Structure 1
């Protein structure tokens, strides 16, 4: 029997999601209103609300948004975009493949939010030059960022949490998750070929214009360009080694922003203007709304229900955890769900159950499930925010119609893989 507090937390979450889907009001306002309702009614107090906010994620977002705002001043994005387009001979399908693969690989070794912050502006600039709609490219990049992040220990926050608690190494993630990630990427590229590849057309004049462009001429500030390249390499290395130095990713991102502002000589106002405050507001509210369900025990009930439904059968439990993680992570933030499931799996391990396959089911489900809807993962919200700011509208429904079926395909492939593996 659900308590009154649990019912209210569920109702508020559903109402916020309904407003986000309907787009009657801005999604940030919808999430913040939901948080205010929970605080005013007393479902969570201010301290619990603050504890539910993932300030590390917000720090990464703010830091990398400021970093990108300064790097953009150098012309680096235009340089890379022109180089990529010329290497692909101006063929939009080849450009889509190139950017999809680059996004996936970067997301495996950087966090996927950082990756889309770097790739998104390049994509929009390139598509403007070719006079084609960038939305299909951006949708592909969002999906590939979440898939690439699944491959490694550091690619997605759930993997970091699982690796830490289960004692799984970087090499183990590469050995177990990376093979199915490669298969999924190949399958999705085939699907994208049918969805977009045959319909992408570029005017021959625009294609020739691209081939005549000089990438070097796109560089606005050579000194800042070289500093930006060095900083991007250092940031990538720092993200990969953050566990070794025991540094939160937010510390790396904010440090990168501070250093690039300092060495570039740019006004800090330029960096601050680069922050997508609507995206930050949305995450603030959403963390509190999901925190309301976590605080009242709703998420823990969901986790226990998964265990009860399987009757202790490890193979059945593996499949249920995979699919439940994927579906729930597409509509909830996957971090509190994974945080709830970890202690449940550890209790099962203490009782003598072989839980090794369950860790991988949780990892694949939580990471791949982020592709289900626009609010399933941070990268989705961030890149759609960038697109909307540039005048290319990616709505909740337009994203979900494309991404949710593809998410089901990736989870189905993961199901077959896990059954063969374990």
Structure 2
């Protein structure tokens, strides 16, 4: 065998090895995703198992997992989440969120329709600065208390909490985990979300009030016990001076988020500085604020980044992005429509966090090939809207849904998967219709 024949043989062997690696990586990712979607195995265990398998076949090492920007952990996302968890954990101990819910109960004066509208507001207003799971964990127990005092069935109000949290989280970069992932990849700023995502969020929240009033019209006709006179929201505030100091820090953090490009600070740095300042002004002990950190969520994100990075390493993500860009051609409206509705459909039946992490590199390639690249691309915002709104579709589409249904069952008011899904699909379908009109008008007509 001469040198040319040997070179050809080695080339074929290398190609075969690469093909086997691609097949193995896709198979590992598919199995891991199936375990996450079906919840047969805890999602953190499934994700870490997938990373271990990718390591065994040689696609993951310390450099690719922890130091490579394209294939490793996105530390900006991790530390942004960590910083905000510290801030929220300290605010939680001041009683602020419970006071807001009690205020809603008192202001409703026992009127179910007014209580439903206030439930939307009390949930949606903090959602842009809290993650959805934290929001519902704070609001749900108080809603259960209020419904018990008024003699109301809590299911309509609890489902409304979920819908409002998932929609309200669209408004800002930090409001929903998919936003953080998309913003990091697309280099979208906090102000970009205020300009592009906040307006449609306000419209959808207003529409949600009307829609829920229609969907739950029978339940809202139930008689109530107007036992709200002795509700005192102020008693929920455990330390008023501490709360004032914390709110000042929170206000500064929000301003810094909006000016982070001018200040040359990444959002993750703003969140970490804000967390440090909050610890100092509140005098919180490590036991107080570290107990509120969702370590499992952080571990899940880290494992997801490494899993998707392995697909990037073997070229799967790049090939899919190129194929999608070729198929899109000049049809940007079609691509935006497919992203909006496709993300909602897929994200409605599996957790929208792993879906977003797996899809965001493909969308990045689509944006690069589109006429309108950068933060003004309709593709980025169609992706944001679809991924976030899809979280309302089924009982397992977002973490907030699972948490609320678990708390409801524990309190003796179970909401079945199909009961939630029946209402959730209507909320999602109507929200998507309005969102598509917004995308069409804003980016293709006006």
**TM-score, normalised via structure 2 length:** 0.74
8 Å CA contact 1:158, 1:363 repeated in 2:
no
Q: Which whole-Å deviations, capped at 9, do the CAs of 1:262-308 have from their partners, x for residues lacking one?
A: 22223211111111222222222222222222332222233222222
What CA deviation, in whole Å up to 9, does each residue of 1:39-80 have, x standing for no partner? Answer: 222223232222432222222222222222222222222222
1:281 has 2:299 as partner? yes
State the number of aligned residues.
407
1:141 is aligned, of 150, 153, 164, to 164
> Is 1:191 paired with 2:207?
no
Structure 2 match to 1:46: 62
The 10-residue stretch of structure 1 (398-407 or 275-284) with the greater mean CA deviation from structure 2 = 398-407
Change (3 A) 1:39 1:374: farther
Q: Which one of 210, 214, 223 corresponds to residue 232 of structure 2?
A: 214
Equivalent of 1:156, from 174, 179, 188?
179
- Cα drift, residue 237 of structure 1: 2.0
Give the CA deviation at 1:145: 2.6
Q: Are the counterparts in 1 of residues 77 and 180 from structure 2 also a CA contact under 8 Å?
A: no
- From 70, 78, 88, the equivalent of 2:108 is 88
- Equivalent residues of 2:167, 2:204 under 8 A apart: no
Q: Is the 8 A contact 1:150 1:156 kept in 2?
A: yes
Any conservation in 1 of the 2:80–2:271 contact (CA below 8 Å)?
yes
Alignment partner of 1:212: what SS? coil
Please tell me whether residue 261 in structure 1 is matched to residue 279 in structure 2: yes
Q: Distance in 1 between matches of 2:229 and 2:436?
A: 44
Contact 1:16 1:30 in 2 (8 A): yes
**Equivalent residue of 2:377, what SS?**
helix
The question of whether the paired residues in 1 share the 8 Å contact of 2:311 and 2:317 is answered with yes
- Summarize deviations over 1:301-359 as a string: whole Å, max 9, x none: 3322222223434444443454455556647453664444345433454xxxx669981
Q: Does 1:57 align with 2:77?
A: yes
- Aligned-residue offset at 1:86: 1.6
Give the alignment partner of residue 334 of structure 1, picking from 352, 356, 369.
Answer: 356
> Is 2:36 aligned against 1:20?
yes
Q: TM-score, normalised by structure 1?
A: 0.78
Q: 1:71 to 1:107 in 2, by over 3 A?
A: closer
Distance in 2, matches of 1:211 and 1:238, equals 40
CA distance in 1, matches of 2:174, 2:138: 24
Q: Cα offset for 1:221?
A: 1.7
Which aligned pairs between 1:4-403 and structure 2 lie closer than 5 A?
A: 4-50=20-66, 51=68, 52-101=72-121, 103-104=123-124, 110=129, 113=131, 117=134, 120-131=137-148, 132=154, 135-149=158-172, 156-157=179-180, 160=183, 164=187, 170=191, 174=195, 179-196=199-216, 198-199=218-219, 204-205=224-225, 207-208=226-227, 210-324=228-342, 330=352, 332-334=354-356, 337-349=359-371, 359-373=377-391, 380-381=398-399, 384=402, 403=424
Aligned CA distance change for structure 1 residues 193 and 35 (closer, same or farther; 3 Å): farther
Please, which runs of 5 or more residues in structure 1 have no aligned partner?
Answer: none
Q: What SS class does the counterpart of residue 261 from structure 2 fall into?
A: coil
Question: Matches of 2:415 and 2:297 in 1, distance apart?
Answer: 14
SS at match of 1:370: helix
Q: Separation in 2 of the partners of 1:27 and 1:395?
A: 22
CA distance in 2, matches of 1:75, 1:199: 30
- C-alpha contact 2:123 2:135 (8 A) present in aligned 1: no
2:435 maps to 1:414? yes
> Hey, what's the Cα distance between the residues in 2 that align with 1:197 and 1:147?
27
Contact kept in structure 1, 2:385 and 2:435, CA below 8 Å = no
Is the Cα–Cα contact under 8 Å of residues 334 and 366 in structure 1 kept in the other structure? no
1:117-170 CA deviation, whole Å, 9 max, x = no partner? 356413433433433356414411332134434899xx93477468858xx995
Give the match's secondary structure for 1:77: helix
Change in CA separation of 1:273 and 1:83 when aligned onto 2, cut-off 3 Å: same
Distance 1:172 1:259, change over 3 A: closer
Q: Are the counterparts in 1 of residues 86 and 275 from structure 2 also a CA contact under 8 Å? A: yes
Residue 83 (structure 1) shift:
1.7
Return the alpha-carbon distance in structure 2 between the equivalents of residues 182 and 249 of structure 1.
23
- Distance of 1:316 and 1:343 partners within structure 2: 16
Instruction: State the structure with bigger RCO (CA 8 A, min sep 6), 1 or 2.
Output: 1
